[in-house]
Structure 1
């Protein structure tokens, strides 16, 4: 059996105690209250030393591309978000510096202040050596395609770094209308990891396409977890939006296949991998385990699970290497 030379996990999370405390104080995302702030999860998020390295070794992961867990600093007031994002990115840079062969990192951005977010992206890349940024779909009630966020995308394009769109909670009105009516846990899970997160993240990427983001920045690249957050698997139908469209320079499916990359984001499914490769090609799929949440581990959850997922993928030896590490190396400059 052909084996990947390396395995790089592209969606792997951490945070700082100060950011956790601010999110709990200001609210805005129930997953922080009910999931990430639990003692064991909080510890695993903040720990970026020997325990994490041991967990990586056990799974067969050679490198993690760290990012601040959802929702980052995006639900916070701008006056809080800007310094906390800066501190978090300094923390990421220090973590990478301590283990440069095991970690890289994506910046978190204070999108409540878009010009400051653009400046922080530039600082994170040019001064700290981070390899891109992670954002969530919403800041308040504004999706990423809102014109106020254009400085962020201009900065990413100028720096030639990708943006990873990670799910965040849908709008409260949407949660109440579409994901409510059950017990509290079911409501939360339906609105987040069970369904709503992924609809919203895919929608955020689709809105960027329709808003002309990739016409303004043709080379800009976006990453989505969960094999494309419902957008990539539904690409053929989403292309219906091309019909009669007088503003876009390309068909919708051309943006999907030319400006998007995907990871499993912890959903270790060869069936969904095969679909993503069919839509995007083997050069746009990368491994990602959603550590420390571990996603939907399935039969790949034991020792060596990450490497086993790559090694047993229904791909050629070359494309297993692409999935395992080469695509991440090319896109992120690792």
Structure 2
């Protein structure tokens, strides 16, 4: 995919007309407390030009296929959505990539559709909801999917869904619950060893990782104490995630994200069309004023070009190594001693 080095947006959504009609037929008028926005490829390209985005790696947002109770219907919808997304790069060369939609991770059809989308349709990765009807990523029954994605060195965008509990009156789920949902999924993927057993998968956490960067040491201390693991190894697992900046490159959130994330692991995201153009401009401007030019170029496009080789012609990133990344902060060393006395 020849391209110039403009922005690469890894968190942008599509709402094909047939999908919108299916949602409406199921009585779904919005996601996370927001009404379903209008979408077209032309409108997407207009937004991309406004924000200086050369390529958008698009995905289907919540609820994905989860509103369908019949597994065969869900699998059929996933195939239809993926066939639609696969047409975008052909119709608009250089402007679109895509994450494949999968039915719920524990279903028999999930790994098969991942393989079809990645091997036959040329998907750039897959998108998975943090929870599907209350079953979170990392639950039992998902091993076949993780093995298949690991073998392919796949990139997985983890997108939040509504929490498996009633929303709090006056708090739209997208405002706070979505961040918790992403954090829960990340916690369980680390706690249950998925990221450690499958180092070939590159997991991307939406919206700056939810609360992960800010609460990473608190989360890691809990897992280390419960599982009898090294605190530094647990932090290493959390730092293996990639993070997109959708609605998260603010003066308050960005410093925490950049302090925690590994070099090369922060990617630009707009969240359009669920986040309207003014919101995209606001957070894009936060990047321009919040980071040095070299870091801005990395977040805008270079990190994504390394993650998605066909965007920039770079070799695919190697599987994550098991080298320990020593945390050189006195506080972390003190916590490490408390959790794992006598280890180094």
- Whether TM exceeds 0.5 here: the answer is yes
User: How many angstroms does 1:279 deviate by?
Assistant: 0.5
Q: Distance in 2 between matches of 1:228 and 1:34?
A: 20
Answering whether residue 220 of structure 2 is matched by residue 239 of structure 1, we say: yes
Q: TM-score, normalised by structure 2?
A: 0.81
Cα distance per residue 1:226-269 (max 9 Å; x no partner): 211111221011111212524789732110112x0111223331
Answering whether residue 230 of structure 2 is matched by residue 253 of structure 1, we say: no
Residue 14 of structure 2 corresponds to: 14
Q: 1:33 to 1:234 in 2, by over 3 A?
A: closer
Q: Distance in 1 between matches of 2:304 and 2:103?
A: 25
Cα distance per residue 1:198-253 (max 9 Å; x no partner): 10111011101111112321232211122111112210111112125247897321
Residue 73 of structure 1 corresponds to: 65
Q: TM-score, normalised by structure 1?
A: 0.83
SS in 2 for 1:233: helix
SS in 1 for 2:204: strand
2:44 to 40, 52, 55: 52
Relative contact order, CA 8 A, sep 6+: which one is greater?
1
Answering whether residue 291 of structure 2 is matched by residue 314 of structure 1, we say: yes
Q: 1:57 to 1:30 in 2, by over 3 A?
A: closer
Give unmatched runs, 5+ long, in structure 2. 312-344
Residue 34 of structure 2 corresponds to: 35
Give unmatched runs, 5+ long, in structure 1. none
Q: 1:271 to 1:112 in 2, by over 3 A?
A: closer
Cα distance per residue 1:164-219 (max 9 Å; x no partner): 11110111xx32xxx43x3xxx25x0xx1111111011101110111111232123
Residue 117 of structure 1 corresponds to: 110
Residue 279 of structure 1 corresponds to: 260
Residue 316 of structure 2 corresponds to: none
- What root-mean-square deviation, in Å, do the aligned CA atoms of Structure 1 and Structure 2 show? 2.5
Check conservation: 1:164, 1:223, Cα contact below 8 A: yes
Residue 325 of structure 1 corresponds to: 301
Answering whether residue 245 of structure 2 is matched by residue 269 of structure 1, we say: no
Q: Distance in 1 between matches of 2:244 and 2:280?
A: 18
